[in-house]
């Protein structure tokens, strides 16, 4: 699992946000399109792409995309 591919997968879940907005330092919860449904979509993507189950608290406790990436990586 590499950070660049994770960011691409994460960004693909968003319909209205440009992919160029997403990088390791992006505070994803501050994006206009972020919602509780988006959180569920991210959880499903992580499960499907990485076979890792994350919880709401994993997202809640992550600030940047790199934070969330590190949480997922620690569960591999």
Please report, for the domain that includes residue 58, its CATH number: 1.10.1200.10
Instruction: State how far the Cα of 2 lies from the Cα of 17, in Å rounded to an integer.
Output: 22
Instruction: State how far the Cα of 73 lies from the Cα of 35, in Å rounded to an integer.
Output: 23
Determine the structural domain holding residue 15 and report its residue range: 3-74
What is residue 42's predicted lDDT score, i.e. its pLDDT?
A: 98
What is residue 66's predicted lDDT score, i.e. its pLDDT?
A: 98
Q: Look up tokens 């992919």; give the residue.
A: 19
pTM of structure: 0.95
What does the angle CA 23 – CA 26 – CA 43 come to, to the nearest 5 degrees? 90
From first to last of the 76 residues of the chain, give the pLDDT tens digit.
899 999 999 999 999 999 999 999 999 999 999 999 999 999 999 999 999 999 999 999 999 999 999 999 999 9
What is residue 29's predicted lDDT score, i.e. its pLDDT?
A: 97
- Between the CA atoms of 59, 13, 32 and 19, what dihedral angle is there, to the nearest 10 degrees? 110
Q: Who contacts 74 (Cβ-Cβ below 8 Å, separation ≥6)?
A: none
> What is the tally of structural domains in the chain?
1
């Amino acid at each position: 699992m590499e950070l660049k591919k994770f960011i691409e997968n994460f960004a693909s879940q968003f319909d209205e946000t440009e992919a160029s907005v997403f990088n390791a330092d992006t505070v994803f919860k501050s994006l206009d399109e972020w919602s509780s449904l988006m959180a569920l979509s991210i959880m499903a993507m992580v499960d499907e792409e990485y076979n890792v189950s994350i919880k709401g608290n994993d997202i809640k406790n992550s600030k940047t995309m790199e934070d969330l990436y590190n949480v997922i990586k620690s569960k591999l």
